[in-house]
Structure 1
Amino acid sequence: MTSQPLRIAVLGTHSTGKTTLLKRIEMEVRGYGLTVARTGQLGKRAAAAGLPKMQNHTVRSTEWIIAQGILDETHAAAQGAEVVLIDRAAHDAIAYFEAAMAFRAETPPRLERERLLALASTQLPKYDLLFATVLDASVPVDTSHDYDGHFRHLVNDRVHRLLANEAIPHQRVTSDPDSQAHAVDVAVQHCLKQELV
């Protein structure tokens, strides 16, 4: 592998298979003998730190999530992982923030949004692959989660609108098993190709 780890990130609204996708990629990549680190659980950790989440996101909670995600990625790379799998790319936090503001019928402060976007954008050059999951409302959600359906749709909309508006290269992953299998294959082949460089 190169001196820098290969970074594969995912973003998308909740319960659309992000963590499952990364677990599948991790299992396959480890099977080829590569060392893998996986980041995640930023929302839970933010809540544990006393910050609001989901439809209650604020500028402060969004900044914390982006900054903590950057720290997690940097730590994983420093530990010598050859592949870093990022559960919630930095722009995911922006999409959640925008969805929360829309949910509350509030207007995001322009300068704060621009600052958060600039912070998230520092990570884009580091991502070798970026996957964006697509909401399929027909797929049932685990009943142990008390999700607001409208907010979930708002996040999905903001994720894909943000990717389009900022012209961020990414690959869409739907709930279709073939789409997910293709994403895993793309990730594995990318890792193997980089290993030979």
Structure 2
Amino acid sequence: MRTTARALLPISLFGLTLALAGCSPEAGGDSPASESTPTSETTAPTAEPTQEETAPASSESTADATLIDGSQEVEIESYAGTYLAPTVEGGVALVPDPAANEVPAQWTIGPAEAGGEDFQLTTVALTDGEPMCLTVPADGDPSLATCDADDASQVFSVTTLDRADQVSVSNEAGYLGVDAEGGSLTVSPTGEGVDTTFTLLTS
């Protein structure tokens, strides 16, 4: 009988141990502590793309942007250091000093049509009370004529070059330029063989 009593005591203690283990938090049951304790893992918010990232690249090119928006009074200097100026005979020439020219050497350069991208070069000097316009016909020399925005020989593309004040001037006849040999004003159909760079100087 003593042997049986000794055997039942360890068994009873083992059963009590199992019962207590079943009530402990480690047994996998839900407990208030496990519900209130936040986990260390957090989900980072998804970054929204910025406006710069989502905006498409601009397709607008400024390579052929014209220099002038509206009318502006300028002196037009060639790369050779001479200036485009009207003559008393109604022509145009390159002169070394615009201040010493017989007639004012300044030009007003402005859109041939409101909001347009083509320009007319108009003399500041008046003839019979009216300005004259630079005219470059396809079969003639540069000259002056009564301004007419519908005359293609008076309508020019004025395109910026390496600097904002440096331009080329062209129309259907070709590019206005300076003959490298004679230093005189000329027109080249392709712009080759002449210096077509002009600088617009504002007063």
Q: Under TM normalisation by the shorter chain, which class is it? A: under 0.3
Which structure's CA Rg is the greater one?
Answer: 2
Comparing both structures, which one devotes a greater share of its residues to helix?
A: 1
TM-score under structure 2 length normalisation:
0.23
Tell which has more relative contact order, 1 or 2 (C-alpha 8 A, sep 6+): 1
TM-score under structure 1 length normalisation:
0.23
